[in-house]
Structure 1
Amino acid sequence: MSLPQQAWIEASLQWFVREFGMAKVSHGPVLPTRDLPPHGYSGTNEDIAALVCGMAEAMQLGVDLTLVFFDRTAESEEAKRKAPRTVGHYYVEDGQTIIGLDVTDAADPEYVTAIIAHEMSHVRLLGEDRISPDRKDGERLTDLLTVFFGFGVFTTNAVMRFGEVAKRGFTVHPLGYLDDRMLNAARNDGYSRLGYLTQREFGYAMACYAWLRHETRPAWAVHLDPGPRAYLRQGLAYLATDGAPGEFPTRRPGADPSAVRVTPKLGKPWLDVPYPRHMLGDRPPDAPGDRPR
């Protein structure tokens, strides 16, 4: 991972602290065995709705949500080839905040949680006018926010999965879309990808998350897949040699000038609104460059 990537992660997490406070970080990560999924989860629409409600509270959403489900499994192969598979999206229509979810893999609660966390992070960033929709790093920042709000175990583990990847190209939709579980490149090597950060970036982000919590050997690391867990441990070892817990190397006075600055969107302030209610809908969606080692 390059120094600019490292600096971007550290600067972004510090910006999150200024924007959202430390309460969610202090609370600790959401874990699949302790906190999710809801008891008896089997992947029904009602189960997903209950999951969304719990996650909305954890993500501190202050808007009403409309949840829509879609499923492309019944479409013809020709139709699937023409349009990339979207696994999640966020948009606002007629003043209503909408999150759409592909229910093809609804029976996998950890995977669904990763998608929901990404889309809810869009709500916190775009929906609250904290960043501009045209930010080039907007989707990556959205992935990183899932770590800050405690859902990093889910989104990190979802980065790379084994699966059958169709022999076709892949494209990236604008704002709020997770497309075909593989958003960074076209490939056909038996893997499918979800998210805009790499395993190494997610691993370092999780290390920084633990560092903010003054954790040097977080017990929750056992819930990460082996690859990201190794990157987390490498990141923590690196951070431990270069500063005190909670302090990031590129953010100290006199640090390397290649560190980046996160600039929020200038716009209306965010106002708290009543606790969200949730409605169900059924309409379809339209490397050394490597610092921490």
Structure 2
Amino acid sequence: MFGLFSNKNNNVCPLDEEMRLWMENAFLWLATQFGQDTILSKKVLMPTPEYFPIRYDGSQTSLIKTAEIIATQMDVNLDDVNLQTYDESIKAFDAGMGHQLFTEVDKNSKEKLAAGLYFDKNKNGKYDIFIEQQNLSQPEKLVATLAHEFAHIKILGEKRLDFNDEFLTDLTPVVFGIGIFNANASFRFFQGSDGWGHNSVGYLKQKEWGYALALYAYYREEKSPEWIKHLAKNILSDYKKSEGYIYAKQDKVFIEEYKGGC
């Protein structure tokens, strides 16, 4: 039926079998939790002024305006959130506190810095969310970090699970149409004074983001949708491989049960 995807190489899943099954089952769980209509009807947010008419100058105003857009998209009441910034370099928080979204500063470094922190409701009944202040001048990273921390509200704060699952939290923005940002933020090359390295934010890997977004498009019955042009080249490559596999294996996708652990 889909001659475009008839190449035999498309029969090879870019993910290992356990991860594929986990992701498909996790996606269906999220669809059950937040509703099929959420996935089908919400617009896909893209990194353009149309969706984010904000001047990213590192100001608190840029943070609040971005948070308002993400909160609306994810059905989060921003009045229930105490949103603050912090400087990760001064180590203001202990590693055991809250739930942290990590960023790796270089592929050759074991050091991980916190891009965002989520805490449950404080004594005033608000969720404490802290965003590392350097993110305020990096729009894509800021959106991804806010989406991840707001996903903690949707999963933990709304009592959908009683334990923290960072991989599921990473996946949650996809069903709300924000996956472009989290995927792109997961792997970005940069050139430093001593060569090339990469920044990465979050827990899912590059290939996993490609598959997650391909699942999202497939669920919405969108083949090669216009919004994929905003994906970073490496993510787009994995998206296309994943899309090819999904259409070649429609008898398997969203059908098989994941039997692994959490």
Query: Which TM-score applies when normalising by structure 1?
Result: 0.70
**5+ unaligned residues in a row in structure 1: which ranges?**
76-82, 166-187, 264-293
3-state SS of 1:43 partner: coil
Deviations 1:227-249 (A, max 9, x none): 11111111111111122xxxx72
Amino acid of the residue matched to residue 56 of structure 1? A
- 1:227 and 2:234 are equivalent in the alignment: yes
**5+ unaligned residues in a row in structure 2: which ranges?**
1-14, 92-110
Whether the 8 Å CA contact 1:11–1:260 is kept in 2: the answer is: no
The match for 1:143 among 136, 161, 170 is: 170
**Partner residue of 1:22?**
36
The match for 1:52 among 67, 71, 75 is: 67
**Partner residue of 2:254?**
251
**RMSD value, Cα:** 2.5
Whether the 8 Å CA contact 1:38–1:47 is kept in 2: the answer is: no
Whole-angstrom distance in 1 between the partners of 2:191 and 2:152: 28
3-state SS of 1:114 partner: helix
**Partner residue of 1:88?**
116
- Highest RCO, 1 vs 2 (Cα 8 Å, sep ≥ 6): 1
Point out 4+ residue stretches in structure 1 off by more than 6 angstroms: none
Higher strand share: 2
Whether the 8 Å CA contact 2:189–2:196 is kept in 1: the answer is: no
Amino acid of the residue matched to residue 155 of structure 1? N
**Partner residue of 2:24?**
10
Whole-angstrom distance in 2 between the partners of 1:196 and 1:84: 12
The match for 2:189 among 162, 181, 200 is: 162
Cα 1:240/1:229, change in 2 over 3 Å: same
- 1:131 and 2:131 are equivalent in the alignment: no
3-state SS of 2:116 partner: strand
Whole-angstrom distance in 1 between the partners of 2:166 and 2:20: 17
3-state SS of 2:177 partner: coil
- Superposed displacement of residue 262, structure 1: 9.0
Whole-angstrom distance in 2 between the partners of 1:208 and 1:39: 30
Higher helix share: 2
Whole-angstrom distance in 2 between the partners of 1:234 and 1:99: 36
Query: How many matched pairs?
Result: 223
- Superposed displacement of residue 38, structure 1: 2.9
The match for 2:180 among 146, 153, 156 is: 153
Whole-angstrom distance in 1 between the partners of 2:32 and 2:140: 29
- Superposed displacement of residue 131, structure 1: 1.1
Query: Which TM-score applies when normalising by structure 2?
Result: 0.77
Amino acid of the residue matched to residue 239 of structure 1? I
The match for 1:71 among 72, 83, 87 is: 87
